[in-house]
Amino acid sequence: GATMTPQATGTCTITASQAAGGNFLAAAGVARSFAINSTQTITFNQPAVLTLGNNVDLTATASSGLAVSYTSSTTDVCTVSGNTVTSQSAGTCTITASQAGGGNFLAAADVPRAFAINSTQTITFHQPAELTLGNNVDLTATSSSGLAFGDTSSTTDVRTVTATTVT
């Protein structure tokens, strides 16, 4: 047999032939065509942290120049349509960029990217009543996230805060 070394992607046609010799006439040539495919890779930059309620457009490219598609494996946290990610809830969003191949390019390896979707929070802090020097007042504040928070005083020469009591 002979060895063929591909030089470029595309369709290659090889013809096998046999010249006449001895008591044999020349054989009719037999042509065979086959594809020579190239590999490709995907470049997919890491998306930044997203705030719940906001969307982000993704940018990934295939070395082949073919279009990249996206899927979400965390649809409870984020969905994707075209190249736009829509946040659904706070958590970790995982998006996979894919390119299935075509036009003499093999499928590219999928590239997943995970990023946080953070929720905003608010603090409800009731206005304390005026206080007489030497008395204490209990503070009432809540966070929409339910997370613990701390009090600090910007006027430490006037008051101090211990847990939820002002002195």
pTM for the predicted model, two decimal places: 0.69
pLDDT at 154: 65
pLDDT at 159: 59
Beta bridge partners of 43: 61
Low-confidence ranges of the chain (pLDDT < 70): 149-167
Q: How far, in Å, are 16, 85, 103, 159, 164 from residue 109 at the CA level?
A: 36, 21, 17, 61, 55
pLDDT at 162: 56
Q: Any idea how long the chain is?
A: 167
Separation between Cα atoms, residue 66 and residue 102, nearest integer Å: 8
pLDDT at 160: 57
Beta bridge partners of 163: none
pLDDT at 147: 77
